[in-house]
Amino acid sequence: MESRSAKLLCSSAGGSASSHAQKYRIGLPSAWVKAMALSQDSPDLELTFENDTITIRKRNTQIPEDFMRSARIDRHQVKIYRYYHVDSLCTTIYADFTSRVVSIENHTDVLIHRAFGCNLSPTWQDFLFFLEERCVPRTRIGLDSILGAMNLDTYDPVKIVEQTEGRIAGDLQWLSISEVK
């Protein structure tokens, strides 16, 4: 991993922003921009903020076949989540647990049956939020005994969904999960 120092560039936000609003920028080395295959034609990035770390990634716009081919070549841990409404496949989610990126394929035009609704380019955080929505709530009374019955020490939406297929009382959605070898 390569590290460099950078300076935070500040300027007035302008436009309809308040008079004290600021805009912040950080310059990236051109070698890094080239290595990420970024250009004015494909400038989309995904920013992730966690604790004191900001991660910058090229936004995933790959079609699922290319996404899977690339992940296999790089020997990444990939799982395929098939999201159903009753017996109808609504969304296929390709989740790369090594790079922490997802690619999706919707199989329905009914937005409420899609895993991410109208979001066609979900981030890793969107994926984790989706999984947690398919779990028993973190705030549930007696959660420790539920986790104990599942042989889990901690609340982990990935592991919970693997055991429950993401089934929730009162709705007809569920997941089938397979790991790509």
Mean pLDDT of 111-135: 94
Q: The tokens of 10 are what?
A: 């500040």
For the cut 60, the answer to whether the pLDDT of residue 149 exceeds it is: yes
Residue 144 pLDDT grade (very low, low, confident, very high; cuts 50, 70, 90):
very high
Domain ranges across the chain: 8-58, 64-180
φ, ψ dihedrals at 149, nearest 5°: -65, -25
Distances (CA, A) of 148 to 86, 93, 136, 142: 29, 28, 13, 10
Q: What is the pLDDT of residue 131?
A: 98
* Alpha-carbon radius of gyration of the chain: 20
Closest CA to 90 of 75, 74, 104, 72: 104
pLDDT confidence bin for 62, thresholds 50/70/90: low
CA distances from residue 180 to 66, 104, 160 in whole angstroms, order as listed? 14, 15, 19
Cα(97)–Cα(87) distance, rounded to whole angstroms?
A: 27
**pLDDT above 90 coverage of the chain, percent:** 48
In which band, very low, low, confident or very high, does the pLDDT at 58 lie, cut at 50, 70 and 90? low
Lowest-pLDDT choice from 23-32, 90-99, 149-158: 23-32
pLDDT at residue 109, rounded to an integer: 93
Average pLDDT in the chain: 86
| pLDDT at residue 43, as a whole number | 66
State yes or no: pLDDT of 72 exceeds 80. Answer: no
173 band by pLDDT with thresholds 50, 70 and 90: very high
**What is the pLDDT at residue 44?**
67
The more confident residue out of 64 and 120 is: 120
Percent of the chain with pLDDT over 70: 92
Higher-scoring residue by pLDDT: 37, 96: 96
